[in-house]
Amino acid sequence: MFASMLVNGIITGAFYALMALGLTMIFGVLRIVNFAHGEFYMIGGFVYVLLYHNVGLSIPFALPAAVVVGGLLGWLVDKLLMGPIYTDARSMRQGRDEYAIIVTFALSLFLVALMTKLVGPWSLQGPRLADGRPIAIAGVRVSPHQIIALAVTVAFLLASMLLLNHSLWGRQIRAVAQNRFAAAIVGIDVRRVSMLVFAAAGALAALAGAMLSNMISPAPDVGAFPAIKSYVIIVLGGLGSPVGAILGGLLLGIIENLGAFYVSFAYRDTYGLVLLVLVLLLRPNGLFGEIRREV
């Protein structure tokens, strides 16, 4: 039983990691928290389910379409709303934080209300990625759907980490995250990097939403909890740390699944808060965060 809880935890955690990775990259590059992240997830789920059920696209087309829509949405958010964070003359920490929190939080509520208006307040269950009976591997029963979902998620996580660590774009992202001014001085287009990061974050969150649409049916307000969990995860892993986001996601997934079994199922969503309190109390910089001072 423990093993199967652990496996379930890892599967859930991989999806959390997908969301948290984008969020932590946005924080690394723009030094802001995107409070509309859960809505990228929600819209990804909806696009996938609607394309599959209403348009009749098959899964191999609907899934990438959802990812592309999520990416476009992220790009648009950066293009239309994040401008003042760069151009505002008094872009001190205070003014920026204020603007970012108000605007992304309002955007989140706006997107929820808009989707409620467009598709209704109901939830729509997504299709399974693969049919078939659960397979027992070393005593742990997993369905083919779960295996494929996990494989795709892990592939995306690995690809993101590879791109981040070894490609030119990834190096630019890391450079901007390390020091924006120095990055601009050596000729990196900071504005383009931030659009890239926002688009990637939107795409990853939309992918998570689409892949989870079979287990957690998309509804307009479905994004709140995955988003809150990714906030906990990025604090747990250390703000701005991609490795921290992935390991933090796995850790939270495992803790939640074990807690749901051994402590209480109804309150499984609250374990994140307990974890958050412990991290803030004992290690505010997170597991993989670095202590940074801004001048």
Interface of this chain with another protein, residues 123 to 152, rule: CB under 8 A: none
Instruction: Check residue 79 for interaction with another protein (CB under 8 A).
Output: no
* Cβ at position 3, least distance to another protein in Å: 28
| Straight-line distance from the first to the last Cα atom of the chain, in angstroms, rounded to the nearest whole number | 51
Instruction: Check residue 26 for interaction with another protein (CB under 8 A).
Output: no
Instruction: Check residue 267 for interaction with another protein (CB under 8 A).
Output: yes
Instruction: Check residue 81 for interaction with another protein (CB under 8 A).
Output: yes
Spatial separation of the C-alpha atoms in residues 64 and 277, rounded to whole Å: 37
Instruction: Check residue 33 for interaction with another protein (CB under 8 A).
Output: yes
Instruction: Check residue 114 for interaction with another protein (CB under 8 A).
Output: yes
With beta carbons less than 8 A apart as the criterion, state whether 67 and 22 touch. Answer: no
HEC per residue, the chain: CHHHHHHHHHHHHHHHHHHHHHHHHHHHHHCCCCCCHHHHHHHHHHHHHHHHHHHCCCHHHHHHHHHHHHHHHHHHHHHHHCHHHHHCCCCCHHHHHHHHHHHHHHHHHHHHHHHHHHHCCCCCCCCCCCCCCCEEECCEEECHHHHHHHHHHHHHHHHHHHHHHHCHHHHHHHHHHHCHHHHHHCCCCHHHHHHHHHHHHHHHHHHHHHHHHHCCCCCCCCCHHHHHHHHHHHHHHCCCCHHHHHHHHHHHHHHHHHHHHHCCCCCHHHHHHHHHHHHHHHCCCCCCCCCCCCC
In this complex, which beta carbon is closest to another protein, that of residue 162 or of residue 280?
Answer: 280
* Cβ at position 26, least distance to another protein in Å: 11
Interface of this chain with another protein, residues 233 to 262, rule: CB under 8 A: 235, 239
Binding span for another protein by CB under 8 A among 79-87, 133-141, 155-163, 187-195: 79-87
In this complex, which beta carbon is closest to another protein, that of residue 64 or of residue 95?
Answer: 95
- Kindly tell me which residue out of 61, 110, 122, 262 binds another protein, with binding defined by CB under 8 A: 110
Instruction: Check residue 272 for interaction with another protein (CB under 8 A).
Output: yes
Binding span for another protein by CB under 8 A among 1-9, 50-58, 112-120, 123-131: 112-120
Instruction: Check residue 219 for interaction with another protein (CB under 8 A).
Output: no
Binding span for another protein by CB under 8 A among 2-10, 44-52, 200-208, 276-284: 276-284
Instruction: Check residue 122 for interaction with another protein (CB under 8 A).
Output: no
Spatial separation of the C-alpha atoms in residues 201 and 22, rounded to whole Å: 4
Instruction: Check residue 276 for interaction with another protein (CB under 8 A).
Output: yes
Q: Residues interacting with another protein, by CB under 8 A? A: 27, 32-33, 35, 81, 84, 87-90, 92-95, 97-99, 101-103, 105-107, 109-110, 112-114, 116-117, 224-225, 228, 231-232, 235, 239, 266-267, 269-270, 272-273, 276-277, 280-281, 284
